[in-house]
Structure 1
């Protein structure tokens, strides 16, 4: 069950990541500039994937902290994405 919940949170994280990276917020523009030469701009998605893969691996190995930690990570991404997309930050 933890693997399914982590995977669903991963979908949310990727959607938030895409929305913020495609926005015109100065921080997103700066990140696109930094990662432009690393995997032609796909480097941030690689980092997001590696975080998801790590959480799924820890859950598969039976670490019970994997699910709450990834839920907290998703919550922090949600708050940051909301702040960036609504112009509060």
Structure 2
């Protein structure tokens, strides 16, 4: 059950991350070039790594990782909402 929830949260995180990268917000210019190059492939790979680690930890009976990833997702979503709606 937790793995399914993490998968859904991960899918949402990827979509939100990609939307932020495509927004060309001025704040993105403060990121290192490596994170923005190639459409943000390095940052998306990092996003995948975080999701993979959370799923592996949950699969090995560490459910606290699911809470951690849920909080991470909440922070990602909030930040993306602020950036995409011009509040930052």
- The answer, yes or no, to whether TM exceeds 0.5 is yes
Q: CA deviation at 1:64?
A: 1.4
1:16 and 1:81 in contact (8 A); partners too: yes
Tell me the number of residue pairs that the alignment of Structure 1 and Structure 2 aligns: 87
| Root-mean-square deviation over aligned CA pairs | 1.6
Unaligned segments of structure 2, at least 5 residues: none
Q: 1:66 Cα deviation (Å)?
A: 1.3
Measure the CA separation in 2 of the matches of 1:66 and 1:14.
Answer: 18
Return structure 1 stretches of 4+ with deviation > 2 angstroms: 28-37
Distance 1:52 1:11 in 2: 9
What is the CA-CA distance between 1:24 and the residue it aligns to? 1.9
Deviations 1:45-88 (A, max 9, x none): 11000000000000100101011111111100010000000010
